[in-house]
């Protein structure tokens, strides 16, 4: 829904939450966003596999994120 709060959460493969970005007042539909890939202490995430979870209202999407530099 338009105006829903969107939470973008990153987890390790052991399901430890390492970061969360909260976005507000996004328009309905597909909206590109940029997420800084840093942990809660501000450290850049290492190469590896992470899980990403996007929550908007009651909708939840989960996927894998691979970082290779």
Q: Residue 27 pLDDT > 90, yes or no?
A: no
Q: Which residues contact 12 (CB under 8 A, 6 or more apart)?
A: 18, 50, 51
Q: What pLDDT is stored for residue 2 in this prediction?
A: 59
The model's pTM is: 0.82
Q: Residue 10 pLDDT > 80, yes or no?
A: yes
Neighbours of 65 (CB within 10 A): 14
State the average pLDDT over residues 36-54. Answer: 93
What backbone phi and psi angles, to 5 degrees, belong to 6?
-115, 130
């Amino acid at each position: 829904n338009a105006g829903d709060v969107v939470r973008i959460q990153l987890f390790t493969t052991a399901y430890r939450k390492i970061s969360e970005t909260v976005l507000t007042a996004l328009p309905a539909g597909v909206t590109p966003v940029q997420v800084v890939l840093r942990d809660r202490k501000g450290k850049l995430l290492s190469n590896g596999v992470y899980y990403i979870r996007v929550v908007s209202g009651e909708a939840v999407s989960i996927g894998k994120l691979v970082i290779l530099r």
